[in-house]
Amino acid sequence: MTEKKIARCPGPSTQDIVLADAAPPPETFIAEAYTYLGDEDLSYDAYSSEDIARLERERLWPRTWQMACREEELPEPRDYVVFDIADESVILVRQEDGSIRAFINSCVHRGMQLLPSGARGRTALLRCPFHGWTYGSDGALKSLPCAWDFDHVDRANSGLDEVSVERWGGFVFVFLGRDPPPLADFLDPVTALDLPVPMDERHIVTHVRKHLPANWKLSVEAFLEAYHVIATHPEGLQSAGDANCQYDLLGPHVSRFIHTIGFQSPHLKSAPTEEEMLERLDRGRARLKLQPGERARDVFAAHLRTVMAEQTGVDLSAVSSTQMMDSIEYFCFPNFVFFPGISLPMVYRFSPDPDSVHRCFFDLWFLAPTRPGERPPPPPETIDLALDEPFASAPGLDPKLAYIYDQDVDNLARLTRGIRASRKPGQTLGTYQEVRIRHMRQTLAAYLADG
């Protein structure tokens, strides 16, 4: 590695903007944590090599905590969700005592998948559709047809294989291998986050599952930086930062960006007035007014607090402006992303397609604060989008956000094609704006090297 360098965009930084807010967050929340990680090119092999995909199946997926579902998808005993990652398939089941257990989704008889991928429902018994071996919601083998033919089977020890489960923030995680580290250690410092609306006081309002035309890592990486905004989402430059986005490496498995709203891109030369910026944030509806000396960003954050408090019944008066309106993204290695902000409340999960290294699945959820004193409403049906179906076709998705996600997906197909044609063996990353990609790849390399 060459000598440490400091590269930052000129002009107001995220810190300058956020710490000047009328409602700033605790300084610890936005503390910078950047480390220079080098500038060597990163090989393109990671996106196409079957050998690397095989190593990931052996050394990555069984050794990392995987976000499998949300707790509100399992509200009652005997509720189940099927979660797949790479070649693995797991059934998560809510138990009578409220705990959640997870079992390998493979019949002990001849390996049939007990429940189909993506299934969700409630059942007291898991009955194999092939010959009818039947398991309880605790995974124990309860019965099998023609038991007289299976005297050699120790029924008390022929239940479904079980894997470890831990929970944080309303998310349910599974660990597929042996000797899991504590989830809090793995996600450090995420579980210590002090959020004004904790993640476990939110619920799913939308879930879209899209098949993507790219390797899972290429897809994750496309969402780890704002450098692409100038070319891919130029319409966003007028009311959001990009080159002055803050990037933080918070732990071996966790990184973050904070992308401010209400200040235009440093790429644009002529600055708008605060009135003009408020008009942009309000999408031209002219509902909001500025008092002398006020910033558009503060007025719009206050407006969002009021409107969203009415919608959700949750007191948002203590939510800082950045947590209210900015795009704040936490990435948890290897494939889980969540946004703790209130008005941009997304969750992502990227899963390899076991049938092609050039495909993956992208789960996109939107969460909303849960009304105090009430249980979360039942989760909506998942909207499945095939490779050729755009986000714009997903019912209920904000058209503006769907347009942005479709722009990103369009990039992925062309990126995959271009990388396959490339004579250059690797990609050249920015040392600051793309540091989260290098961080992810260095963590991945450590897992794959550990035999």
> Distance of CA 158 to CAs 78, 108, 129, 151, Å?
20, 7, 17, 12
The nearest distance, CB 109 to ligand FES, in angstroms, is 4
| Residues 6 or more apart in contact with residue 269 via CB below 8 angstroms | none
Nearer to ligand FES, 135 or 362 (CB): 135
Measured distance CA(279)–CA(300) in Å, rounded: 10
The nearest distance, CB 142 to ligand FES, in angstroms, is 12
The nearest distance, CB 160 to ligand FES, in angstroms, is 11
- Angle in degrees, CA 302, 304, 305, rounded to 5: 65
DSSP 182-224: PHHHHTTTGGG---SS-GGGEEEEEEEEEEESS-HHHHHHHTS
Measured distance CA(407)–CA(139) in Å, rounded: 44
The nearest distance, CB 132 to ligand FES, in angstroms, is 6
Nearer to ligand FES, 142 or 233 (CB): 142
Nearer to ligand FES, 141 or 222 (CB): 141
Residue 74 has, within 13 A of its CA and on its CB side, a CA count of: 30
Nearer to ligand FES, 110 or 400 (CB): 110
Residues contributing to the site for ligand FES (CB under 6 A)? 107, 109-110, 112, 128, 130-133
Whose structure tokens read 């007035």? Answer: 273
Nearer to ligand FES, 124 or 392 (CB): 124
Residue 132 three-state SS? coil
The nearest distance, CB 95 to ligand FES, in angstroms, is 23
Is the Cβ–Cβ distance between 153 and 131 less than 8 Å?
Answer: no
The nearest distance, CB 116 to ligand FES, in angstroms, is 14
The nearest distance, CB 112 to ligand FES, in angstroms, is 4
The nearest distance, CB 148 to ligand FES, in angstroms, is 16
Question: CB neighbours (10 Å) of residue 58?
Answer: 15
Nearer to ligand FES, 15 or 134 (CB): 134
Nearer to ligand FES, 146 or 386 (CB): 146
Nearer to ligand FES, 153 or 288 (CB): 153
DSSP 144-196: -TTGGG-TTS-GGG-S--EEEEEEETTEEEEE-SSSPPPHHHHTTTGGG---S
Q: What angle do the packed helices 274-281 and 296-312 form, to 10 degrees?
A: 30
- Angle in degrees, CA 208, 210, 212, rounded to 5: 155
